[in-house]
């Protein structure tokens, strides 16, 4: 999508992403069990929106449109209609038009593009939020909820853990086709945790993972699928996290920046986005992300940039193999080169193309609806040198995001320039 | 929202709306029980999209963006990610960007406005669909699902039937404030069924309702709430239907019409829309729809029209009192005048401002996500003289729609000119 009006990321806020293994997450063996509850979906969403106002100094009354990315509030929290929930966050928002966007795990990215579209349509200041809470039920029950992102009628029963099984299938096909090894892919996991260990907001900020641990199954890193054909192709550390959390950002046109009294030089500019949707349940190639490739091609063409110019990327690493495939879809390496790219260290904070610098979905965490919004803020923060202990030494000037829903069924890619 | 690029409704398709009391709806006492199943969410959505291509002659490959309004597919049908589901409808759509919009019962209207925004952003041909299936569980269980449109934590327990109780509360307050009578409001119900009896797509096409039946509770028209304070303020006939169904329409810019080889004179033009969202769970006045009023004011101002010019309206009559309140919010009568307006016959097919000519949510039916899309097509069809037995004698030249989510928490109003 070419932008005929310039759009700027003014700033925003990400809540801590929490869940099992996070020190603050309350569960039955936590010392606070019975004394306090984990934050609700409303609390996460509210914190992100208020935080975005605090971060930017923008008056809530200046917001002309809001969007909320969320996948399954109606199941995990018995709560839909999250646009109206978002408006509760501040009196200055009462009456402001809001809508929820949903495309499974791409819900957040499409909240951002809808807020961009609203600026293209003539508005000047918009807000995009995303939130998810997934820890209200057991992981197995939650996996059934998350299977709503698949074509339920034909795909749900591949395993109790539908999506882990679908990506084990990709992992199997990918390794077989290109000779990629689990140890190569384990570098993606190790990088994710290493980055998260430097990120105070990360779900896995306190968990260390070694290459040895991530490379092979073990008692503490089990293969948990029941599907016998796929079981050996997925371990616990290969997976992203079942996290709770939220993110919100504010976008503005040039006129909007003037009205807000904010300089464009303090912002990051959105150059273009690409969005593609494939037919549910009809993946034609397990060894590449064709829908993401299509979105990425649109993004690069409309932004007028090339993969070689990209200095930081946030990609949808719902599983380790997905990050490898994402780096291929974004053109950072050739088809089949994703494992080698990671093993060479090219995607670390010091590498030629740092990917998922805060830990990605694997270790920063994956509160589904928040992810696509968080990705944009991560890229913007790296460009502005605001990433603290995981800051890239020389802040990059061009960055991209790639947010995906389901098994590469919906993809949205965005390009930014500092 | 002012439109800086002209947008036209090219055409579209509405599936039959079906559910209990519809002759084709299979349930345990239907002769086809056990022999066939009711259509699924996917089947309804697919039928609407394919029907829109058939109605307009538009090549699916011409669609540049699609939106799908849906409220609770993830609960009633275990299915979210409906943008990707929609793409399955035709090979020509594979890869086309789609997203789902959700704002409870306003999900469909916001699918249409998102498709309008995409044209404002520079695209030329877009598709908006809406679909819902709600008959897969009992009405009582379904009412709990639908309560996801309320602020669950504080509002769910007003009654097992949360929303009927919330609008019984409005009905009570409205009648008490203005002296409106149940018989006046019963005219809304009688009109709805009379119109639906002329509409082959209507859920209640075969059910007759008399003024006597609709005016007072009876064994065949019970007050069904458990909440004792509200029980006497709602009967079965006051309510809209639990329907399954879908609708889809195609929008185009002037350039899009040229590309499609379609003349603007065969279309209806979108003049403007208004959209407002109030804070969930925080209704400040039960006797008026303040969020809808705000959206309507925006629509009228941006369209440059007045209520007096409107010749047909589709409004969100989720309950009989809601239609009365809607006619006030849209300026067809003064505050408190909605009951009288209906009783006078002003909103019938022969009246000065025909409202819900095909039967509205009460008798055409209310497959939630489809409703806001269907409303636009109904207005467009009246303007084009395509409404068959329920056609207004002189096709109107200006029409409006008002689609509402939750208890007047999200509202979207649109204005059209033939």
Q: Is B233 a catalytic residue?
A: no
Q: Residue A364: what pLDDT?
A: 98
CB contact under 8 A, B104 and A118: no
B2-14/B65-69 β-pairing: unpaired
Q: Which of B98, B275, B280 sits opposite A85 (nearest CB)?
A: B280
Q: Is the ipTM of this complex over 0.90?
A: yes
**Rounded CA separation B83/B94 (Å):** 11
Token reading at B251: 């929008």
- pLDDT tens across A333-361, in order? 999 999 999 999 999 999 999 999 999 99
Q: Is A30 a catalytic residue?
A: no
**Rounded CA separation B190/B205 (Å):** 13
Residue A285 sits at the vertex; the CA angle it makes with A406 and A230, to the nearest 5 degrees, is 70
- pLDDT tens across B153-169, in order? 999 999 999 999 999 99
The size of the A-B interface in CB pairs under 8 A is: 204
- Residue A388 banded pLDDT, cuts 50, 70, 90: very high
Average pLDDT across chain A, whole number: 98
Q: Residue B167: what pLDDT?
A: 98
Strands (E), B76-118: 98-102
Q: Residue B103: what pLDDT?
A: 98
What percent helix, strand, coil does chain A show, rounded to 5?
40, 20, 40
**Rounded CA separation B325/B353 (Å):** 15
**Rounded CA separation B158/B417 (Å):** 42
Q: Is B33 on the interface with A (CB under 8 A)?
A: no
Cβ contacts of B133 on chain A, cutoff 8 Å:
none
Q: Residue B235: what pLDDT?
A: 98
- pLDDT tens across A17-62, in order? 999 999 999 999 999 999 999 999 999 999 999 999 999 999 999 9
Q: Which of A83, A101, A110 sits opposite B277 (nearest CB)?
A: A83
Task: Tell me the HSE value of B242 on the side-chain side, using a 13 A CA sphere.
Answer: 22
Q: Residue B178: what pLDDT?
A: 98
Q: Tell me the three state secondary structure of residue B401.
A: strand
Q: Is A97 on the interface with B (CB under 8 A)?
A: yes
Q: Residue A55: what pLDDT?
A: 97
Which residue matches tokens 């995981």? A390
Q: Residue B171: what pLDDT?
A: 98
Looking at the complex, report in whole angstroms how far the Cα of residue B216 sits from the nearest Cα belonging to chain A. Answer: 34
Is A20:A132 a contact under the CB 8 Å cutoff? no
- Full-prediction pTM beyond 0.95? yes
Over residues A161-168, the mean pLDDT reads 98
**Rounded CA separation B258/B124 (Å):** 10
Chunked in runs of 10, what are the mean pLDDT values of chain B (418 residues)? 97 98 96 97 98 98 98 98 98 98 98 98 98 97 98 97 98 98 98 98 98 98 98 98 98 98 98 98 97 98 98 98 98 98 98 98 98 98 98 98 98 98
Is B97:A277 a contact under the CB 8 Å cutoff? yes
Q: Which of B71, B147, B406 sits opposite A84 (nearest CB)?
A: B406
């Amino acid at each position: 999508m070419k932008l005929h009006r310039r759009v700027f990321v003014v700033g925003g806020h990400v809540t801590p992403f929490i869940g099992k293994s996070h020190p603050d997450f309350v569960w039955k063996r936590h010392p606070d069990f019975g004394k306090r509850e984990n934050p609700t979906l409303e609390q996460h969403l509210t914190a992100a929106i208020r935080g975005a106002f605090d971060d930017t100094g923008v008056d809530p009354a200046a917001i002309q449109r809001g969007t909320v990315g969320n996948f399954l509030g109606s199941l995990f929290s018995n709560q839909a209609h999250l646009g109206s929930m978002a408006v509760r966050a501040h009196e200055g928002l009462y009456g402001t038009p809001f809508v929820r966007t949903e495309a499974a795990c791409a819900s957040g990215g499409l909240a951002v593009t809808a807020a961009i579209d609203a600026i293209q349509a003539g508005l000047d200041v918009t807000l995009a939020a995303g939130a998810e809470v997934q820890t209200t039920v057991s992981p197995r029950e939650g996996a059934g909820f998350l299977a709503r992102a698949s074509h339920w009628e034909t795909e749900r029963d591949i395993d109790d853990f539908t999506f882990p099984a679908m990506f084990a299938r990709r992992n199997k096909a990918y390794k077989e086709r290109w000779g990629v090894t689990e140890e190569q892919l384990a570098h993606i996991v190790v990088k994710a945790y290493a980055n998260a260990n430097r990120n105070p907001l990360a779900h896995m900020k306190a968990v260390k993972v070694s290459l040895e641990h991530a490379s092979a199954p073990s008692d503490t890193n089990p293969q948990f699928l029941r599907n016998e054909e796929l079981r050996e192709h997925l371990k616990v550390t290969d997976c992203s996290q079942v996290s709770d959390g939220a993110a919100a950002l504010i976008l503005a046109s040039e006129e909007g920046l003037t009205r807000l009294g904010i300089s464009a030089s303090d912002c990051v500019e959105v150059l273009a986005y690409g969005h593609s949707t494939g037919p549910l349940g009809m993946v034609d190639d397990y060894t590449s992300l064709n829908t993401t490739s299509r979105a990425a091609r649109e993004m690069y063409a409309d932004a007028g940039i090339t993969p070689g110019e990209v200095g930081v990327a946030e990609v949808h690493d719902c599983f380790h193999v997905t990050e490898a495939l994402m780096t291929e879809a974004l053109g950072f390496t050739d088809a089949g080169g994703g494992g080698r790219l990671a093993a060479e260290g090219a995607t670390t904070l010091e590498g030629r193309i740092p990917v998922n610098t805060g830990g990605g979905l694997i270790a920063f965490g994956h509160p589904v609806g928040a992810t696509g919004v968080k990705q944009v803020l991560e890229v913007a923060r790296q460009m502005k040198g605001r990433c603290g202990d995981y800051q890239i030494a020389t802040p990059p000037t061009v960055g991209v995001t790639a947010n995906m829903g389901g098994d590469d069924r919906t993809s949205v890619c965005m390009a930014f320039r500092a």
